[in-house]
Structure formats: C-alpha cells, structure tokens
Amino acid sequence: MAKKKGKKIIVYILLTVFLVGFLLPIYVLLATSFKPFDEVGKPLMWNWPSSLSFDGFAKAFDKLKGNLINSFILVIPATFVSAMVGSINGYVLSKLKFRGSNALFAIILFGMFIPYQSILFPMITFLQNIGLYGSIGGLILVHIIYGLPITTLIFRNYYAEVPTELIEAANIDGAGIFKSYWKVLFPISLPGFVVVIIWQFTNIWNEFLFAVTVTSDPTKQPITVALVNLAGSQVVEWNVQMAGAIITALPTLLVYIFLGKYFLRGLLAGSVKG
C-alpha cells in the first residue's frame, strides 16, 4: 500500500509541475492586464499588481468593441450555415450511398488539410469578382466553405450510427429524400449540432489569416486582426495589449469552460477518420 501511496504523490507532483507551466502565460496575462500603466514597466513584470486597475480593460475594450461585434456578426451565421450544410452532406454521404460517394468524401476531407495560403490568391480574386472582397459577408462565405469538410465529417460519422432502417421505413411510408431527412434525421441531430457548432464557433472566432487578408478596413476586421494591430503603435502598452488578448479569448474560453466535453468531441473527430 505504501508503494501505491508514494506513486500517487509522484503523480500529483508531476501534474502540479506541468500545471504551473501551463498556467504561467495565464498568470502573466492576468497580472499584466490588471496593472496600471506605470507598473507595467520591466522590473515589475512578474509581480502581481499592487492595486487592481481596469484602465487596460477600459482602453482595450474601447478600441476593440467594434471588432468584437464584427466577430459575432461573422461567426454566428458562418457557424450555423456550415453546420446546416454539413448536416445535409453527412446525410447524403452516409445514407444515400451512390457510386463514387466514398471518393467524393475523401476529396472533401482533403479540403480540411489544404493550407489556407494555397487558396488565398484565387479566393481573393473570386471575392473581388462577386463584389464581396473586403466585407464581412465575404469572410462569412469563405468560412462556410472552408468549414464544410469538418462539419461533413462529424455529421457523416454521427449519422453512420443511426440505423438505416429508420430511413428505409420512412421511404416506404412515402417520404422523399428531403422529407426523410427533415422528419427522421434532423430531429435526432441535436448532439451532432452541438459538437459542430462549438467547433466551428471556436475555429472561426480564432481564425486570423483569412480575416487579415479579406478585410483591410479596420472597422470591418474581426477581433483577432484588431488585436495584432493593437501593438502597432510606438510604445506597446502591455496592459492594454494583455487586456485585449483576454477580451479576444473570453468567448471561446467560456465555451470551453461550459461545454468542454463537446469541444473535445469535435477535436477528436478531426483526427479519427471514418
């Protein structure tokens, strides 16, 4: 028994060491963001603020609030549309097997791994042609399309577990392709939608490269771009910078804290292929 106890203590010690390492940046983030500007200076960097100051947050929020709203305008429609289309794709690919459906699925999956950079230039040209370049609408479109591989994958795997007999029974009752999706599959899709929506929300919120390329007007940029540009001035006000980072991180962090279980499922879905 003594040996077992000793082992437990070692496990705890190791876990704690790693935890400290993982929380170190968070400590810096919190400590700095609550400091008044005159304490941000170098020798006090690792100290906890002597008094809590919200100056950093007030300034950061003032500069970023428009971009925060932009991010919500971008993320909400992009998330829902890509989830909806992914659900229909997943239905077609798992329940309406047709010639080449597996090959089609493989091609869609490859889309998940295409580096953003390699489609950047044609994407811009395309957006210019349809008049959406530089707008949040254009960014929404890009994220819907780029989100389809992962949403399709998650829904396909989710529907694969649903007995095909259910669909067949609906077909015998005279339901068409769309009706059987709408009446049979959609009502039981909620868990799949939760995973997909959380995943898409987090990813689109955190995305930077598309955002910085498509939107050059600062009033139209999502918050990730605005955060990076915040440091652009001569003297970096680190308390403002860190407060801005916290504001940027907060929505996805809250999602993780309250719905982490579903977030994890989306994460693993991206690695365990079907």
Residues of the shown chain interacting with other proteins in the complex, contacts defined by CB under 8 A? 7-8, 11-12, 14-15, 18-19, 21-25, 28-29, 32, 42-43, 45-46, 102, 106, 109-110, 113-121, 202, 205-209, 213, 224, 227-228, 231, 238, 241-242, 244-245, 248-249, 252-253, 255-256, 260, 263-264, 267-268, 270-274
The residue (of 3 and 172) whose beta carbon lies closer to other proteins is 3
Give SS3 for 203. helix
| Segments in the chain forming alpha helices (H) | 2-33, 55-95, 101-113, 116-129, 136-160, 164-172, 177-180, 190-206, 209-214, 223-230, 238-269
Least separation in angstroms between CB 245 and other proteins: 5
The residue (of 149 and 192) whose beta carbon lies closer to other proteins is 149
The residue (of 77 and 270) whose beta carbon lies closer to other proteins is 270
The residue (of 167 and 249) whose beta carbon lies closer to other proteins is 249
Least separation in angstroms between CB 208 and other proteins: 4
Least separation in angstroms between CB 42 and other proteins: 5
DSSP symbol at 221: -
The residue (of 176 and 191) whose beta carbon lies closer to other proteins is 191
Cα gap 35→242, rounded to integer Å: 10
Cα gap 265→251, rounded to integer Å: 19
What are the angstrom distances between the C-alpha of 112 and each of 75, 94, 109, 161?
18, 18, 5, 23
Tokens for 211?
Answer: 């955002």
Least separation in angstroms between CB 44 and other proteins: 9
Least separation in angstroms between CB 130 and other proteins: 19
Cα gap 6→18, rounded to integer Å: 19
